[in-house]
Amino acid sequence: MVLEFDLNVQQFEVQPVQIDWSDSEGQPRRYTPDVLVEYRRDIVPAKNFRPMLCEVKYREDLREEWAEIRPKLKAGFKYAKQHGWRFKIFTEEEIRTPYLDNARFLLTYMRQELNEVHAELLLGRLSEMREADPNSLGSAVFRDRWARAELLPALWHLIANRRIGTDLGLPLTMFSRIWSKDIVR
């Protein structure tokens, strides 16, 4: 879900390769990393990112099974380096974050068709205000609470597609700080 939400990601492939390696006794082994992430080449900073081969594990499993997992991960690092990629291990501590909650919430809006009239109203008013929160921006556009509620899908779409800025590393609420992307930060 996080990868689908990341605008820097061109594509990702689950279990993309099988890596053959030998254990300490010379026995042939095979390791299959979880995902390969490829980044867009048409935007900054993504165009500077190398593809990333990833392994996802629970932190507890890493601790308990380290002796067994370590040689596989070494094979993954070596394979990635040979291909000019990065290799990264992710645990629940890096994944289960407010960013994931925000991605889960915003992904639906990201894909929805945008009401351009509402978008223009929101972007225009936010440009005047420079910074706001979703609640005060809605109130600045419409006094009627039902009309304000109708703005929300467009607002979440604009945030999801990064046309309105916010810190997606913090929980997204009606009182989160948002800003116009017209402002150079």
Task: Indicate the domain borders of the chain.
Answer: 2-95, 98-180
List Cα–Cα distances, 125 to 23, 40, 142, 149, in angstroms: 62, 32, 11, 16
Q: What pLDDT does 100 receive?
A: 96
User: Which segments in the chain show pLDDT lower than 50?
Assistant: 184-185
Average pLDDT, the chain: 96
Q: Is the pTM of this model over 0.85?
A: no
Residue 82 contacts by C-beta under 8 Å, 6 or more apart in sequence? none
Q: What pLDDT does 183 receive?
A: 56
Question: Percent of the chain at pLDDT above 90?
Answer: 95
| Domain 2-95 CATH class label | alpha beta
Cβ–Cβ under 8 Å, residues 33 and 17: yes
Q: What pLDDT does 60 receive?
A: 97
**Between helices 134-141 and 116-129, what is the axis angle to 10°?**
110
d(CA 169, CA 2): 12
